[in-house]
Amino acid sequence: VTPTAVMVGTGVSASLGVLIEGGQALEGAHKVNCIVFDKRGTLTVEKPVVVNTRLLKNVVLHEFYELDATTEANSEHPLAKAIIEYAKKFREDEENPAWLEARDFVSITGHGVKAIVRDKEIIVGNKSLMLENNIVIPVDAQDMLTETESMAQTGILVSIDGEVTGVLAISDPVKPGGQKVISILKSMNVRSIMVTGDNWGTASSIASQIGIETVVAETKPEQKAEKVKELQAEGYAVAMIGDGINDLPALEAADVGMAIGAGTDIAIEAADIVLMKSNLEDVITAILLSKKTFSHIC
Ligand code: ADP
Ligand code: MG
C-alpha cells in the first residue's frame, strides 16, 4: 500500500463528503461483502413525525400531548423529539412551549420513558414497556399497533395511571434512493441486513419496501454487535452503518464502522468512515473509492 495512493483515495472521498479515518479504514472498505444497516435515522429519515393519534379514553387531545411531551422532554430519542415537535402545535408559544413539571423521570433504553406529571404516572413507549409495568393492552390499542406496523410506522403507547389512554403513529419514511442503493449493493455481491430496536412488524415492512431480506428486530445495542460478530464468524467482512448511541457496540465490532453525518457525535467518533451528507448512496461511494484505490496498488 503506497501512502500516496491512500492519501489520494481519502482526499477524493473527503471532497465527496465521505470522511475516511486513515488507510486502514480505506483498505477495509474494499473487502466489505456484508453491510448491517440500522433502521431509524440510517435507512429512514433522521426526523420521524407523528402522523396519527388514537385516543382510547376520554381525554382532550392537547392535554394528552402535554403529558406526553412533558414525559419525553428529558429524552434524546428521535421518537421523543417527534412527539415534542407535534405537541408544540397545541401550545400558544410554539417556540417556547412551557411544559409541565415532570418528576422521577426514567428512560428505559429500547423501551421508552416514564415520569410523574401532575401526580399521574405517565408511561410512553412500546408494548414491552407496558407489559413490564403490568399494563393491559386493550384490543383497540393492539389493532392500532398492527395497523401502524403494516404501514411501516411505529406505534407508541401512552399509559396514564396504569391505563393505555392513547396510541400514536410515528412515521420515519425510507430515505430517497434507499431501494436503489440496496439493489446496487446486491449487484456488487454485498449482502444487506437490517438491525433495529423497533418492533418486528414495522422493521419487516420497511425491509420489504427497500429490498432487504434479512431483518433482526427488537434488538438491544449489544445484540446488534452480536449479529455483526455472528456474520464475521460466517466469514463475512462486515460494515456496520448507524447513527445512534445504540449502534455504538456494533460500530466497534464491525470491520468497518460507518456513521451517518447527521447522527450523534458518539457514533461519529466511533466510526472509521463518516457519511457527511447522510446519503445512503455514499455507502457505495466509500466502497467504490476503496476498490479503486486498492486495485491501482495491487
Ligand atoms: P430504534 O431507535 O431502532 O427504534 P431503540 O432501541 O432506541 O431503537 O428503541 C426501541 C423501541 O423502544 C422504539 O422503537 C420505541 O418503540 C421504544 N422507545 C425507545 N425510546 C423511546 C422514547 N423515548 N419514547 C417512546 N418510545 C421509545
Ligand atoms: Mg438509528
pLDDT per residue as tens digits for the range 228-256:
999 999 999 999 999 998 999 999 999 99
Domain limits for position 93: 49-171
123 lines ligand 1 (CB under 6 A): no
Over 50: is that where the pLDDT of 298 sits? no
pLDDT at 293: 81
Q: What CATH number did the domain enclosing 238 receive?
A: 3.40.50.1000
Same domain, 146 and 248: no
Best mutation site among 109, 113, 144, 198 for ligand 1 pocket (most ligand atoms within 8 Å of CB): 198
Q: What is the CATH number of the domain that holds 106?
A: 3.40.1110.10
- Pick the range with the lowest mean pLDDT from 25-39, 55-69, 87-101, 163-177: 87-101
Separation of alpha carbons 291 and 185, rounded Å: 14
Rounded average pLDDT over 179-190: 96
**Alpha-carbon gap, residue 193 to 120, rounded angstroms:** 41
> Do residues 149 and 202 touch, judged by C-beta distance below 8 A?
yes
Shared domain for 180 and 269, answered yes or no, is: yes
CA–centroid distance, 3 to ligand 1, in Å, is 43
How would DSSP label each residue in 232-286? HHTT--EEEEE-SGGGHHHHHHSSEEEEETTS-HHHHHH-SEEETT--THHHHHH
Choose between 289 and 230: higher pLDDT. Answer: 230
Answer with the one of 142, 171, 200 that is the final residue of a domain.
171
Question: What 8-state DSSP symbol labels residue 40?
Answer: I
Question: Mean pLDDT lowest for which of 12-26, 153-167, 225-239, 257-271?
Answer: 12-26
| 117 C-beta closer than 6 A to ligand 1 | no
Residues 275 and 219 reside in one and the same domain: yes
Nearest ligand to the CA of 44 is 2
Same domain as 212, residue 143: no
284 alpha carbon – ligand 2 mean position (Å): 19
CA dihedral 144, 145, 151, 152 (to 10 degrees): 160
pLDDT at 42 over 80: yes
User: Which domain-ending residue is among 148, 171, 194?
Assistant: 171
Indicate whether 238 and 257 sit together in one domain. yes
Q: Where are the beta strands (DSSP E) in 66-153?
A: 102-108, 112-117, 120-125
Tally of domains within the chain? 2
C-alpha to C-alpha distance for 263 and 46, rounded to whole angstroms:
8
Strand partners, 245: none
Ligand 2 centre from 243 Cα, in Å? 5
What's the CA angle centered on 111, arms 75 and 155, to 5 degrees? 95
Residues 18 and 39 in one domain: yes
Say what the pLDDT of residue 292 is.
81
Distance, CA of 5 to CA of 292 (rounded, Å): 10
**Last residue in a domain, options 155, 171, 187:** 171
Average pLDDT over residues 30-40: 95
Query: Residue 239: beta bridge partners?
Result: 35, 256
Evaluate: CB of 127 within 6 angstroms of ligand 1: no
Please list the active-site residues: 38
Q: Are residues 150 and 190 in the same domain?
A: no
Using a pLDDT cut of 70, give the percent of the chain over it.
99
What is the Cα–Cα distance from 203 to 223, expressed in whole angstroms?
16
Q: Note whether 276 and 70 are within 8 A (CB).
A: no
Mean predicted confidence (pLDDT) in 181-201 = 96
Question: Contact 197/38 with Cβ under 8 angstroms?
Answer: no
Cα 110 to ligand 1 centroid, rounded to whole Å: 5
The model's confidence at residue 10, banded by pLDDT at 50, 70 and 90, is: confident
pLDDT at 141: 97
Query: Could you count the other beta carbons within 10 Å of the beta carbon of residue 191?
Result: 17
Q: Whose Cα sits closest to atom 9 in ligand 1? A: 110
Amino acid residing at 269: E
Q: Give CA–CA dist 85/37, Å, rounded.
A: 26
Whether the predicted pLDDT of 52 surpasses 50: yes
227 and 246 part of one domain: yes
The answer to whether residues 211 and 153 belong to one domain is no
Co-location of 154 and 228 in the same domain:
no
160 & 213 share domain? no
Confidence of residue 113 (pLDDT cuts 50, 70, 90): very high
For residue 86 the three cell numbers come to 407535534
Nearest atom in ligand 1 to the alpha carbon of residue 80 is 23
Q: What is the pLDDT of residues 16-29, one digit of tens each?
A: 888 888 778 888 88
Q: For atom 12 of ligand 1, which residue has the closest CA?
A: 111
Q: Percentage of residues in the chain with pLDDT exceeding 90?
A: 78
Maximum C-alpha span of the chain:
70
Instruction: Say whether pLDDT at 118 is over 80.
Output: yes
Section 167-191 average pLDDT? 95
User: Mean pLDDT in the chain?
Assistant: 92
Residue 73 and residue 121 in one domain: yes
- Neighbouring C-beta atoms of residue 210, cutoff 10 Å: 23
pLDDT of residue 138: 97
Nine-digit cell at 190?
Answer: 454485498
Is 198 a pocket residue for ligand 1 (Cβ < 6 Å)?
yes
